[in-house]
Homo-oligomer: A and B are copies of this chain.
Amino acid sequence: MSTTATWLDLPADSPYGVHNLPYGVFTAADRPGRRRIGVRIGDLVLDAGAAARAVGAPSALLDAESLNPLMASGRSTWRAVRAALTSWLTDEAHRDTVGPCLLPLADVRLHLPFEVADYVDFYASEHHATNLGKIFRPGQEPLTPNWKHLPIGYHGRAGTVVVSGTPVARPHGQRKAPAEAAPSFGPSLRLDIEAEVAFVVGTPSGLGHPVALDGFAEHVFGVCLLNDWSARDLQAWEYVPLGPFLGKSFATSVAPWVVPLEALEHARVEPPARDVEPLPYLDDRKAEPWGLDLAMEVSLNGHPVSRPPFAGMYWTAAQQLAHLTVNGANLRTGDLYGSGTVSGPEPKQRGSLIELSWNGTRPLELPDGTSRTFLEDGDEVSITATAPGPGGLRVGFGEVTGRITG
Binding site for B on A (CB under 8 A): 117-118, 123, 144, 146, 149-150, 152-160, 162, 169, 171-174, 176, 182-185, 207-208, 210, 231, 234, 237-247, 249-251, 279-281, 323-324, 326-332, 335
Q: How far is the CA of A324 from the CA of B185 in the complex (A)?
A: 14
Q: Chain B contacts of A159 at CB under 8 A?
A: 117-118, 329-332, 335
Check B327 against A173 for contact (C-beta < 8 Å).
yes
- Which of A156, A243, A323, A335 has most chain B Cβ within 10 Å? A243
- Determine which of B155, B174, B234, B245 lies in contact with A279 in the assembled complex, contact meaning CB atoms within 8 Å: B174
**Min C-beta distance of A262 to chain B, whole Å:** 25
Check B152 against A155 for contact (C-beta < 8 Å).
no
Q: Chain B contacts of A182 at CB under 8 A?
A: 149
Check A146 against B237 for contact (C-beta < 8 Å).
yes
**Min C-beta distance of A236 to chain B, whole Å:** 10
Check B327 against A281 for contact (C-beta < 8 Å).
no
- Which of A159, A171, A182, A332 has most chain B Cβ within 10 Å? A159
- Which of A123, A176, A280, A327 has most chain B Cβ within 10 Å? A327
Check A242 against B154 for contact (C-beta < 8 Å).
yes
The 24 listed contacts between A and B (C-beta, < 8 Å) are A117-B158, A118-B158, A123-B242, A146-B237, A149-B176, A150-B183, A150-B237, A150-B238, A152-B238, A153-B242, A154-B154, A154-B155, A155-B157, A155-B245, A159-B335, A169-B328, A173-B327, A183-B279, A184-B279, A185-B279, A185-B280, A185-B281, A243-B244, A246-B324
- With A169-B328, A243-B241, A250-B329: A155-B153 Cβ-Cβ less than 8 Å: no
**CB-nearest residue of chain B to A160:** B329
Q: How many copies of this protein are present in the complex?
A: 2
Q: How far is the CA of A101 from the CA of B7 in the complex (A)?
A: 63
Q: Chain B contacts of A123 at CB under 8 A?
A: 242
Q: Chain B contacts of A169 at CB under 8 A?
A: 207-208, 328
In addition to A146-B183, A239-B243, 8 A-B residue pairs with Cβ atoms within 8 Å of each other are A146-B238, A146-B240, A149-B174, A152-B245, A154-B242, A154-B244, A159-B331, A160-B207
**CB-nearest residue of chain B to A328:** B250
Q: How far is the CA of A210 from the CA of B169 in the complex (A)?
A: 12
**Min C-beta distance of A137 to chain B, whole Å:** 9
Q: How far is the CA of A110 from the CA of B139 in the complex (A)?
A: 55
Q: Chain B contacts of A156 at CB under 8 A?
A: 155
Q: How far is the CA of A249 from the CA of B323 in the complex (A)?
A: 12
**CB-nearest residue of chain B to A240:** B144
**Min C-beta distance of A128 to chain B, whole Å:** 13
Q: Chain B contacts of A153 at CB under 8 A?
A: 242, 245
Check A329 against B246 for contact (C-beta < 8 Å).
yes
Q: Chain B contacts of A249 at CB under 8 A?
A: 155, 324, 327, 329
Q: How far is the CA of A152 from the CA of B243 in the complex (A)?
A: 9
Q: Chain B contacts of A158 at CB under 8 A?
A: 117-118, 158
**CB-nearest residue of chain B to A137:** B241
**CB-nearest residue of chain B to A171:** B327
Q: Chain B contacts of A279 at CB under 8 A?
A: 174, 183-185
- With A144-B240, A183-B149, A240-B144: A157-B329 Cβ-Cβ less than 8 Å: yes
- Determine which of B172, B176, B239, B240 lies in contact with A326 in the assembled complex, contact meaning CB atoms within 8 Å: B172
- Determine which of B241, B328, B331 lies in contact with A144 in the assembled complex, contact meaning CB atoms within 8 Å: B241
Q: How far is the CA of A247 from the CA of B154 in the complex (A)?
A: 11
Check A328 against B238 for contact (C-beta < 8 Å).
no
Q: How far is the CA of A240 from the CA of B329 in the complex (A)?
A: 20
**CB-nearest residue of chain B to A332:** B159
**Min C-beta distance of A391 to chain B, whole Å:** 40
- With A154-B154, A155-B156, A249-B327: A241-B242 Cβ-Cβ less than 8 Å: no
